[in-house]
Amino acid sequence: MTTLTRRQLLQGAAVAGAAGAAAVAVPSVAEAASARARQPGDVGLLYDSTLCIGCRACVTKCKSANNLPVDAMNINGVPYDAPDDLNATTKTVIQVAAQGDRFAFVKRQCMQCLDPACVSACMIKAYQKGPDGVIGYDQSRCLGDRYCQIACPFNVPKFQWSKAVPVMVKCEMCRHRKEGPACSEVCPRQAVVFGKVPDLLAEAKRRQAASPGKYLARIYGEHEVGGTQCLYLTAADVPFETLGLPKVDGTPQPHLSTSIQHGVYKGMIAPVALYAAIGLAVWRNTRKGDEEKKP
Amino acid sequence: MSHAPATPVGGKLTTPFFNFMALVALAGAAALVVRFAQGLGAATGMTDGYAWGIWIALDVVVGTALGCGGYAMALLVYLANRGKYHPLVRPAMLTGALGYTFAATSIIVDVGRYWGIWKIPTYVAWWNFDSALLEVALCVMTYVMVLWIEFSPSILERWRASGTPGQRSFAESAGPRLDRALPWIIALGLLLPTMHQSSLGTVMMLPFSKMHALWFSPLLPLLFLVNCLFLGYAMVVAESTLSSTGLGTRRETRLLGALAPTMAWVLILFVVLRFGDLALRGSLPAAFVAGKYAAWFWLETLLLLAPAVVLLGRNARERASTQFGAALSMLAGGILYRFDTYILAYDPGSGWSYFPSALEILITAGFVAAEVMIYLWIVRRFPVLSSATPAESR
Ligand code: SF4
Ligand code: SF4
Ligand code: SF4
């Protein structure tokens, strides 16, 4: 698959201008800044792949804390709770990236994006960012149209395909628990820790500095898709893509579509003006007793 | 120039073809029971990777575009003031009304929590203006009503001529009022598709990190708009040709021939916009990387360029078979473009694949069959086709 580079994405602004079409006014596409700056109160998780031993205590605790059933898989006739990916009964999963006899674990869950695609996608705001930056989901609003699934760059929201009355399932940072996230609470190795994002960033940098050469000199989520509140550290020789984290640049996912929506529909001025113009033209063209032009 | 008035085609409704359509529609309805009783997983091939399948890509995204014949013709007749095409407007409005109605019905089948759909138009405080899908939903809901109002003169005409006394007096009183409002309703019928057809392109801009470079474009809204125009014209041509063959109405070859250059230039505009955009953003090399993406991309292009060339030629003005062939090619290319943007070009990452299930296909087929049945019933009973009027009464 040929992925888009940032340049390919943004040069569209010039093309759109050249096309001069009212329908594609792209007003502010050149500034790819995140729509939302990090707030001091934002909370998130820091996951350190080099410390994770793959015990999956976090996965099991997440299920019990969120009242989710096991995802039973039969191996040699024995059922295990073995989700292979996030799914309708799994809000976090531990996956392994193996290369020869080297391997590394990765924990997946909602990234709590600064500028979330799921929020931008949802027609009637079933997803909303809370004061701590966590994206909460309100099933009483949800229509189950699944645009959030299409939009999310990390394929996080999952749908209850086997239910006649389905809801979406995704990590909401255990916002229903006053103790905070269950996964970080049980992790025996501090491979996943919960905290305020500025503290998590400082902790990540501290770990990188404390063990020179051990870590890749990047923090996944610091800038990806305009920044996420869940952050990742990985070993120096295990790139984030090997862990299965998608290769994305710093453009917030909703950036381009939102600028179009805002550019064209701001205050409904353009549509109303267009309607008036069309209305006048039609009225003029159907006037003068032009019987035969009635539909 | 005066046109023949439209007349009902008449004749027996329950032909073998009609009965076959009824069978397909019934089978689709049976499949719907599974979907509503057991959920989307039991009835479809959709997954968490491909959360949208043919019900969105075909029924809604393609279905509405095929219903754009009324929009495309109204642009010519009412904006460009080409009155001669007027006989083509009414049947196009009918296919539009049917196409959009079934697209809207498909949405109800597709969304998981369909019982809450009424909240979209009513819970104004919840509206998220960032969402192109909201724009599509609101616009499509309104446009369904606009299309049926635009088509209603045909029903009123029949009621005035041969309805029950009640129908007659209703038609008599509603008719003049409708006439006065019509220019503004027609204008709404021109505005709404401009908005939601382009928004259908914007919808697939949001997941840009998962889109293939040959289909992602900042011009997606414009490309989708131009695409729905030529699909609309192609539907008008195909529909006219099919009803003259299937229902024995008069051929409209000369009128359709006059439309040919317009169709060709819209096609050329689409291809130029698409290639220009890809070239300027440096994405064009992806078209020369051997593989399925390039193959589908070139197939789309060929299916659109070939009819453009043909439509500029002489044959297209005079030969019904040439017109019909060109229209079919345009339909194939235009439909493919929409389908590819929503399904092929969308890549959620490794490990996911999508193929519609038998029930999923059956439900779509059932909808199409029901649409065809209602179309046949209406054109046989109501004055829609002016080609059904005997030539001597012109
Ligand atoms: S990871 Fe996906 S679901 Fe989570 S906030 Fe970001 S866009 Fe939304
Ligand atoms: S924060 Fe809570 S819901 Fe999210 S992954 Fe951790 S335990 Fe699961
Ligand atoms: S509990 Fe900690 S060490 Fe165990 S799998 Fe989860 S993150 Fe890794």
The string of DSSP codes covering B101-139 is HHHHHHHHHHSTTGGGTTHHHH-GGG--TT-HHHHHHHH
Where residue B83 falls among pLDDT bands split at 50, 70, 90? confident
CA distance A289 to A282: 13
B356: nearest Cα among B33, B38, B105, B35: B35
pLDDT at A46 over 90: yes
- Report which secondary-structure segment, H or E, holds B26: helix B16-38
- Both tokens of A163, joined, read 């239910």
> How many A/B residue pairs have CB atoms within 8 Å?
271
Domains and CATH numbers, chain A: 16-32+257-293 (no CATH), 43-251 (3.30.70.20)
pLDDT at A238 over 60: yes
Distance of alpha carbon B92 from its chain centroid, rounded?
Answer: 10
- Report which secondary-structure segment, H or E, holds A159: strand A158-159
Interface check B191 vs A, CB under 8 A: yes
With respect to CATH, is domain B54-348+364-385 assigned 1.10.15? no
Q: Which of residues 67-86 of B touch A (CB under 8 A)?
A: 77-79, 81, 83, 86
pLDDT at B322 over 90: yes
Q: Report the pLDDT value the prediction gives residue A102, as an integer from 0 to 100.
A: 86
Q: Span A166-185, mean pLDDT? A: 96
Per-domain boundaries in chain B:
54-348+364-385
Ligand 3 close to Cβ of residue A96 (< 6 A): no
- Report which secondary-structure segment, H or E, holds B296: helix B292-312
Residue in chain B nearest A253 by alpha carbon: B206
Strands A72-75 and A135-137: unpaired
Interface check A28 vs B, CB under 8 A: no
CA distance A30 to A291: 51
Q: Locate the ligand 3 atom nearest the alpha carbon of residue A57 and give its number.
A: 1
CA distance A135 to A36: 14
Q: Span B49-59, mean pLDDT? A: 97
CA distance A136 to A17: 37
Residue to substitute from A123, A127, A253, A266, interface B, most B β-carbons within 10 A: A123
Q: Span B108-119, mean pLDDT? A: 96
Q: Report the pLDDT value the prediction gives residue B301, as an integer from 0 to 100.
A: 97
CA distance B309 to B108: 40
What residues line ligand 2, using a CB cutoff of 6 Å?
A 62, 65-66, 91-92, 109, 171, 173-174, 181-183
Contact residues, chain A, for B228 at CB < 8 Å: none
CA distance A155 to A118: 10
CA distance A165 to A126: 16
- Both tokens of A59, joined, read 């996965």
B207: nearest Cα among A12, A248, A62: A248
- Residue A171 to residues A49, A162, B21, B39: CA-CA distances in angstroms? 19, 20, 46, 23
Instruction: Reduce the DSSP state of residue A193 to 3 states and report it.
Output: strand
Instruction: Give the helix, strand, coil percentages of chain A, each rounded to 5.
Output: 30, 20, 50
- Residue A137 to residues A142, A143, A244, B48, B260: CA-CA distances in angstroms? 8, 12, 25, 17, 51
Q: Span A239-253, mean pLDDT? A: 93
pLDDT at B394 over 60: no
Q: Report the pLDDT value the prediction gives residue B391, as an integer from 0 to 100.
A: 58
Q: What DSSP string runs through B339-376?
A: HIIIIISB---TT------HHHHHHHHHHHHHHHHHHH
Residue in chain A nearest B156 by alpha carbon: A295
CA distance A281 to B311: 29
- Both tokens of B105, joined, read 């019905």
pLDDT at A263 over 90: no
Give yes or no for a contact between A156 and A170, defined as CB atoms under 8 angstroms apart.
yes
Kindly determine whether residue B130 and residue A158, on different chains, have CB atoms separated by under 8 Å: no
Contact residues, chain A, for B182 at CB < 8 Å: 286, 294-295
Ligand 1 close to Cβ of residue A114 (< 6 A): no
User: What was the ipTM of the complex prediction?
Assistant: 0.93
Q: Report the pLDDT value the prediction gives residue B162, as an integer from 0 to 100.
A: 85
Q: pLDDT tens, A29-41?
A: 334 444 678 999 9
Nearest CB among B39, B203, B213 relative to A163 is that of B39
Q: pLDDT tens, B239-274?
A: 999 989 988 888 899 999 999 999 999 999 999 999
pLDDT at A259 over 90: no
The conformation of residue B59, written as its DSSP 8-state character, comes to I
Phi, psi of A99 (to 5 degrees): -140, 105
Q: Span B87-96, mean pLDDT? A: 94
Taking the model in full, what pTM does it have? Answer: 0.92
Comparing A267-276, B15-24, B212-221, the range with the smallest average pLDDT is: A267-276
